[in-house]
């Protein structure tokens, strides 16, 4: 009898100990889960943000090429707000453009001044290509995104061995020629800039039907409707980079490459050999002269090309 009682007591004691251990583990697990769940909103499985995101304050006044942007109008402010928000939170892109601008803005600004085009048009170049020799899905090429069929009308050569749409200086001069023509036609730099996106014919068609050439009063295709505001967003973000949190030191900016020029009046059969003769290499020759499209250069009689070579 005592033996049976002893066995029963031992069994009950073991059972109680097991229950206590289970309860302790349950509370401990609940505590761990509670810590994890504290990162979630009540009743949801969406983690709380690690950072606070905010909308940068919009400028109270703004101009493009000396022309006022009517920011007192709600739809204009909201369109600008959209482009600033979109690009402000694309931080890596803005920082990279700022690095590139340190190298390319000086030469673009110089050509704009020489052609009497407002300085703000350098931001149109940013909106077009992010200061890269890009090729669009439609086939537009270079910093200023000229189409192959349009290029010759603005003194840009496109041949088997040469594509001057990739030449920053030549394409900037070509863009200036277009913008002057559009300004004479539409009477404002803002309209001229908008027509750069949809073409003079496209802008004229919409403005004629709607009875106004004021860009801000026009209903245009989505891409053109956003176009000026995209340019304005780049102007605002890049002009106020420091106060908006885009911090780059002088050493982090890409500096202009020091070069010398060589005038070429005869065809070059082997650009690699030519590069070595000039004290450089084929890679550097193509980096500095992306308009050279093949391994050779055909020079027609009476034609002269200016090739940039790195300064030793």
Is there a contact between 147 and 154 (Cβ–Cβ < 8 Å)?
A: no
202-223 average pLDDT score: 98
Quick: pLDDT tens for 263-287.
999 999 999 999 999 999 999 999 9
- Residue 195 confidence (pLDDT): 98
Is there a contact between 90 and 83 (Cβ–Cβ < 8 Å)?
A: no
- Residue 40 confidence (pLDDT): 42
- 1: pLDDT strictly greater than 50: no
- 31: pLDDT strictly greater than 50: no
- The domains of the chain are located at 63-242, 259-310
- 36: pLDDT strictly greater than 90: no
Is there a contact between 103 and 256 (Cβ–Cβ < 8 Å)?
A: yes
- 39: pLDDT strictly greater than 70: no
Quick: pLDDT tens for 154-169.
999 999 999 999 999 9
Quick: pLDDT tens for 43-99.
445 555 567 888 889 999 999 999 999 999 999 999 999 999 999 999 999 999 999
- Residue 42 confidence (pLDDT): 45
- Residue 240 confidence (pLDDT): 96
Higher pLDDT, residue 196 or 48: 196
CATH 1.10.530.10: does it fit domain 63-242? yes
241-253 average pLDDT score: 94
pTM of the model: 0.83
CA pair distance 44, 46, nearest whole angstrom: 6
**Phi, psi of 225, rounded to the nearest 5 degrees:** -60, -35
Window from 8-12, 24-28, 132-136, 248-252 with minimum mean pLDDT:
24-28
Alpha-carbon 222 to chain mean position: 18
- Residue 20 confidence (pLDDT): 54
167-176 average pLDDT score: 98
Is there a contact between 246 and 139 (Cβ–Cβ < 8 Å)?
A: no
Quick: pLDDT tens for 112-135.
999 999 999 999 999 999 999 999
CA pair distance 252, 250, nearest whole angstrom: 5
Higher pLDDT, residue 195 or 10: 195
Query: What does the DSSP assignment read for the chain?
Result: -HHHHHHHHHHHHHHHHHHHHHHHHHHHHHHHHHHHHTTB-TT---BPPSS---PPPPPS--EETTEE--TTSHHHHHHHHHHHHHHHT-HHHHHHHHHHHHHHHHHHHHHHHHTT--TTHHHHHHHHHTTS--B-TT--BTTTTB-TTTGGGGT--B-SSBBGGG-HHHHHHHHHHHHHHHHHHHSSHHHHHHHHHHHHHHHHHHHHHHT---GGG----HHHHHHHHHHHHHHHHHHTTTTTT----GGGSPPPPPEEEEEE-S-BS-HHHHHHHTTS-HHHHHHH-TTB-SSSB---TT--EEEEEE--
- 17: pLDDT strictly greater than 60: no
């Amino acid at each position: 009898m005592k033996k049976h009682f002893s066995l029963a007591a031992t069994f009950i004691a073991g059972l109680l100990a097991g229950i206590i251990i289970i309860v302790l583990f349950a509370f401990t697990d609940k505590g761990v889960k509670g810590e994890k769940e504290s990162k979630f909103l009540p009743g949801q499985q969406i983690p709380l943000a690690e950072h606070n995101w905010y909308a940068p304050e919009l400028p109270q006044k703004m101009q493009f090429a000396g022309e006022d942007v009517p920011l007192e109008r709600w739809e204009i402010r909201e369109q600008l707000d959209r482009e600033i928000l979109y690009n402000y939170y694309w931080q890596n892109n803005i920082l990279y453009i700022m690095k590139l601008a340190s190298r390319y803005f000086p030469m673009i600004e110089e050509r704009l001044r020489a052609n009497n085009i407002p300085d703000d048009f350098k931001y149109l170049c940013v909106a077009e290509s992010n200061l890269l020799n890009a090729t669009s899905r439609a086939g537009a090429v270079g910093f200023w995104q000229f189409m192959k069929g349009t290029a010759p009308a603005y003194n840009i050569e496109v041949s088997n061995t040469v594509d001057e749409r990739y030449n920053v200086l030549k394409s900037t001069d070509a863009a200036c020629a277009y913008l002057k023509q559009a300004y004479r036609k539409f009477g404002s730099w803002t309209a001229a800039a908008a027509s750069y996106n949809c073409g003079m014919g496209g802008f004229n068609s919409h403005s004629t039907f709607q009875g106004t050439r004021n860009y801000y009063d026009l209903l245009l295709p989505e891409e053109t409707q956003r176009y000026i505001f995209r340019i304005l967003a780049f102007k605002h973000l890049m002009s106020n980079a420091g106060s908006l949190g885009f911090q780059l030191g002088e050493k982090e900016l890409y500096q202009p490459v020091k070069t010398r020029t060589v005038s070429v009046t005869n065809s070059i059969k082997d650009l690699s050999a030519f590069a070595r003769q000039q004290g450089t290499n084929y890679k550097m020759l193509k980096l500095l002269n992306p308009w050279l499209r093949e391994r050779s250069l055909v020079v027609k009689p009476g034609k002269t090309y200016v090739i940039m070579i790195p300064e030793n």
